[in-house]
Structures are given as C-alpha cells and as structure tokens.
Amino acid sequence: MERIGFLGLGIMGAPMAGHLLDAGYAVVSAVNRTQPSAELLAKGLTLAGSPREVAAAADIIITMLPDTPQVGSVLFGENGVSSGLSRGKLVIDMSSISPIETRSFASRINALGADYLDAPVSGGEVGAKAASLTIMVGGPEAAFERARPLFAAMGKNITLIGENGAGQTTKVANQIVVALTIEAVAEALVFASKAGVDPAKVRQALMGGLASSRILEVHGERMIKRTFNPGFRIELHQKDLNLALEGAKALGVNLPNTASTQQLFSTCVALGGAGWDHSGLVKALEAMAQHPVAEG
C-alpha cells in the first residue's frame, strides 16, 4: 500500500486525512498553521519536519491548503515538496486555487519526473467528515487511476474532467453556482420574512417544489436558525469568486451576478463576518432591508 503525505490539516484536511488512516494508509504530515489533533495521532499519523521530508517519505503527496500562494510555497518554497520528490511520485493538490497557476505547478512538478493532479473538492466540512466529497480532477488518466482508491476513501462523486487545470476550472464553476444559489435563498427568505410570513414554513414549502436544493435545505436552515459557525468561511468563498472574476476577465466573459454576489460577501466582511459560514451572506441583505430573517 502506498505511503501518503498530507499537508494541510485544517477544517477540511483533518477529516480527509483521518479517512485515509481509517482505510489503512500510512500517512505522514508536517505542522504548518494547524497542529494535528490527538485523534489523528491516535490513528497513526506521523510527523516530519518539513514538506520536503514529507515528500521524501511518501509515494503520493496531497496538499489541502487555503489559496494559491500557500500551495506555491509548500510545493516550491524553502524545504518544499519539490525538493523532496523523486521520479515516479505523485502530487495531488486538493485545494481550491487558480487554474492558470495550477497548470504552471503541474509543469514544474512534471519536470522533476513526478505526476500532478489537481483535485479540488466540494461538500464542505460536512462532506469531508462524511467522506462524501465531490472530487473534480484534472490530469493524466494513469495518475487518476493510481489515485482513485485514495479519492474513494474521501469522497463519493469522483470525476476526471480533463487535463491539468480542468479540475480547478470545474471547482470555480461550482463556487459560482453555490454562491449565487446562497444569494437567491437569502433573498427569498428576507423577502418572505419582511412580508410577515414564517420563513421556516416558506422553506419547508419550497423544499417540495422546483426551488428545492441542497443549499435551500442546509443553508436555508442556517439562515433561519442563525447558525453561522463556519463550514466554509466567507473569506474563502470570496477567494474562489475572485478566481472566477479574474478568469472571466482573461477570457472576455461577463459574470454580472457573480460580481454582485462578491460585493455582498464584501459587505459581510465589512460587518465583521470574514469568518462566518458563507450562508451568512444573508446578513448583508438583512442589513440593507433593516430586517433579520429570524431572531437569534
């Protein structure tokens, strides 16, 4: 069984690494911002001194980090993964980062004799804990098949989209859909509540019709129950929409509703909500309406 390096043990990465340990893989990590939990250590997680040492000790190295600069630093910075690679190893970036930079990273890793997959995920903390993540993969088919058992330990809907960068492009598209749907649910609940109708009953009714969605189910409930502890932070969704808007500019594509939703996220940040769950976008609309969806 292949040895796995896992870098990035945050809200998403920790349960993902835990599933690999549960599946019987030997997993090694290195401490960056987040100390590994006692649970992961009890499952057999071992620690190395740097990403370079992780890469030297592992056959497959997975990164799960917040943004493009962090991935670049872990891969190519001092004592980075690239300095510990040897021919035949595989690097899998499961972060959500720039598709353009992803193609550059893949080229640099390939030049060292190693394969590269971009495999961002969707499903949030809930999906990471339940091993039900959607995994969108870009890269060579042979590398994808090699990684498939690892992906199966962490997710359910696993798709090879195309060449390197295609996974990240798909994730950006996913984040557009998620953000705009959260915004639509928020508008609907603010409208209904301001009109004097019980938003919980409105949500219940809508769940039985064409407006039904996973976001109405999960994030609509968060808006009503006022539970904005982060499953996926607003500041991270802002990062993803920045990738969408930067890509749209490069492609000459107009994404007007993505841009307006990004402004609502910016309003939330101004209200002190960078760390809120992205369902907290409703608070920007509530502030403009001077009316909360629900008390709490």
Do residues 176 and 241 lie in contact, with contact meaning Cβ atoms separated by under 8 Å? yes
Q: State the number of CA atoms in the 13 A half-sphere of 43 facing the CB.
A: 21
Residues marked active site are found at: 171
3-class SS letters over the chain: CCCEEEECCCCCHHHHHHHHHHCCCCEEEECCCCCCCHHHHHHCCEEECCHHHHHHHCCEEEECCCCHHHHHHHHHCCCCHHHHCCCCCEEEECCCCCHHHHHHHHHHHHCCCCEEEECCEECHHHHHHHCCEEEEEECCHHHHHHHHHHHHHHEEEEEEEECCCHHHHHHHHHHHHHHHHHHHHHHHHHHHHHCCCCHHHHHHHHCCCCCCCHHHHHHHHHHHHCCCCCCCEHHHHHHHHHHHHHHHHHHCCCCHHHHHHHHHHHHHHHCCCCCCEHHHHHHHHHHHHCCCCCCC
